[in-house]
Amino acid sequence: MKGKTTTVLVTGGTGLLGKGMGETKPNGWRILSLHQRDYAVEDSRADHLVLDIRDKAKVDELFAKHPFDAVVHAAGIASVDYVERHYAESLESNIVGTLNITSASRRAGVYLVYVSTNAVFDGKKAPYAEDAPVNPVNKYGRLKVECERLVAETLKDYAIVRPILMYGWNHPVCRPNPATWIIEKLMRGEAVQLVDDVIENPLYNIQCGEALWALLKKRATGIFHLAGGETVNRYEFGRRIAEVFGLDASLLKRVDSSAFPDIAARPPNTTFVTRRMSRELGVPAMTLREGLAHMKAHARVKS
Ligand SMILES: NC(=O)c1ccc[n+]([C@@H]2O[C@H](COP(=O)([O-])OP(=O)(O)OC[C@H]3O[C@@H](n4cnc5c(N)ncnc54)[C@H](OP(=O)(O)O)[C@@H]3O)[C@@H](O)[C@H]2O)c1
């Protein structure tokens, strides 16, 4: 006899995090993924739907049609600089969208995992454990703090995960990330300016997927920091990429944040403590070399 399939709604399932979840999906689980733009998704282990989470009627209709076992809410505008410049649109996407998803989940009594960020911290007192006080330095971080509050104050059965800077192969339809951007620039022989005053322990999207599945299986509650096992600044991150991918590291130019006066403020050091991730989820943080080597071994082929 076939066992029961557990269905998880993943909003923003075509993004980098959603792709990591798709690639690590355990047997017996099904992903229904939402995105908003009208494109087809190839080479995916999820079922995909086009639906804008700002549309409350459509969200309610979706929940009425599908009895979800869990929800991972990752959709929204995730670019720090885009949020800074397009605040009204970002409020609708991140606040209204989150309200629509959380209220439908509350009425259906579904366990929800909200995907937040390291940008909730000011970056002055790293390393950060889950109970550290939040104090965002940009509009994106402030929106995410509001969404965390909305989740915590309206739902009973929830977890909040805060992934740190993520790297990995994105779906070609979605935005690049610092790793794919650096790889592509170096492969074209272009110089890349990288700052040495923004510091994190970057997270491989495949490991992020594994941590989310561990969380879903346990229906764990509370806040979880998800990060890698190695702390680097962005310049060191670029050097490690060049080394693992065999690219020309002399094209990497070390600068500080004053070289980019027009972008949103970044918290300087948001390195995470990953004790909860390893002890409670059973996912020990992967080193940057391990993550990049896995990425290299699974390089996407350009058509
Ligand atoms: N990437 C990181 O380094 C990082 C770090 C910390 C936290 N996070 C958080 O992790 C989550 C996922 O990030 P990501 O990098 O995977 O995102 P991403 O690659 O930018 O993808 C965003 C996803 O959200 C969807 N989306 C956006 N607005 C939507 C709407 N109104 N209705 C339905 N779907 C919508 C997008 O669909 P379309 O393609 O159709 O627009 C896409 O599937 C976000 O909440 C982000 O804040 C990310």
Pocket test residue of 51, 81, 174 for ligand 1, highest count of atoms within 8 A of CB: 174
Residue 146 predicted with pLDDT over 60:
yes
Confidence of residue 103 (pLDDT cuts 50, 70, 90): very high
Q: What is the rounded average pLDDT of the residues 152-173?
A: 97
Q: Specify the ligand 1 atom closest to the Cα of 73.
A: 45
- Tell me how far apart the alpha carbons of residues 21 and 31 are, in angstroms, rounded to a whole number: 9
Predicted confidence (pLDDT) per residue in 13-47, tens digit: 999 999 999 999 999 999 999 999 999 898 889 99
- Tell me how far apart the alpha carbons of residues 110 and 68 are, in angstroms, rounded to a whole number: 7
Beta bridge partners of 226: 163
Average pLDDT, the chain: 96
Q: Give the position of tokens 């909730």.
A: 120
Q: How far is the CA of 12 from the centre of ligand 1 (A)?
A: 5
Query: Pocket around ligand 1: residues whose beta carbon is below 6 Å from it?
Result: 11-12, 14-18, 34-37, 52-54, 74-76, 78, 93, 97, 115, 117, 163, 165-166, 174-175, 177
Residue 1 predicted with pLDDT over 60:
no
Residue 51 predicted with pLDDT over 90:
yes
Residue 251 predicted with pLDDT over 60:
yes
Which CATH number applies to 6-170+202-229+271-286?
3.40.50.720
Which pLDDT belongs to residue 303?
32
- Tell me how far apart the alpha carbons of residues 94 and 88 are, in angstroms, rounded to a whole number: 10
Predicted confidence (pLDDT) per residue in 269-292, tens digit: 999 999 999 999 999 999 999 999
Q: Specify the ligand 1 atom closest to the Cα of 165.
A: 3
Pocket test residue of 117, 169, 180 for ligand 1, highest count of atoms within 8 A of CB: 117
Which pLDDT belongs to residue 302?
44
Domain residue spans of the chain: 6-170+202-229+271-286
Q: What is the rounded average pLDDT of the residues 87-99?
A: 98
For a pLDDT cut of 70, what percent of the chain falls above it?
Answer: 98
Q: Give the position of tokens 């690590």.
A: 24
Which pLDDT belongs to residue 42?
84
Residues 6+ apart with CB under 8 A from 16: 166, 168, 170, 174, 177, 205
Residues 6+ apart with CB under 8 A from 69: 6, 7, 8, 110, 111
Q: What is the rounded average pLDDT of the residues 219-243?
A: 98
